[in-house]
Amino acid sequence: MSGQKQIEEMSFEEAIRELEQVVTALDRGDVALEESIKLYERGAKLKARCEAKLKEAEEKVAQITLDAGGQPTGTTPVEGL
C-alpha cells in the first residue's frame, strides 16, 4: 500500500475500499507483526473517515425539506459542509 493517499482526502468509497483491503490482509494472518500494527492503525483511521463521511451524508439528508406531497423542495445549508 505504498504511495497511499492521505486519509482525510479520501471519499467514502475510497476509504471503505482500502479498509476492506486492510481487513483482508489482517484476516489472512500472513503479515509480519510490525506491518500488522501499521495496518491496524491505518484501518482505525480509515474507519473513522468512513464514519465521518457517513455522518456528513446523514446531516445533509436531514436538511432536505419536503413539500406537502413529500417531494423535495430544496435543502437548508449545513454549517461547515
Residue range of the domain that includes 25: 7-75
Give CA–CA dist 40/13, Å, rounded. Answer: 19
Give CA–CA dist 17/10, Å, rounded. Answer: 10
- The CATH number covering residue 28 comes to 1.10.287.1040
> Which pLDDT score, from 0 to 100, does residue 75 have?
63
Taking only the tens place, the pLDDT of each residue in 45-64 is 999 999 999 999 988 887 77
Confidence label for 3 from pLDDT (cuts 50, 70 and 90): low
Q: How many domains does the chain have?
A: 1
> Which pLDDT score, from 0 to 100, does residue 2 have?
44
Look up the pTM and report it. 0.74
**pLDDT beyond 80 at 71:** no
Taking only the tens place, the pLDDT of each residue in 4-39 is 789 999 999 999 999 999 999 999 999 999 999 999
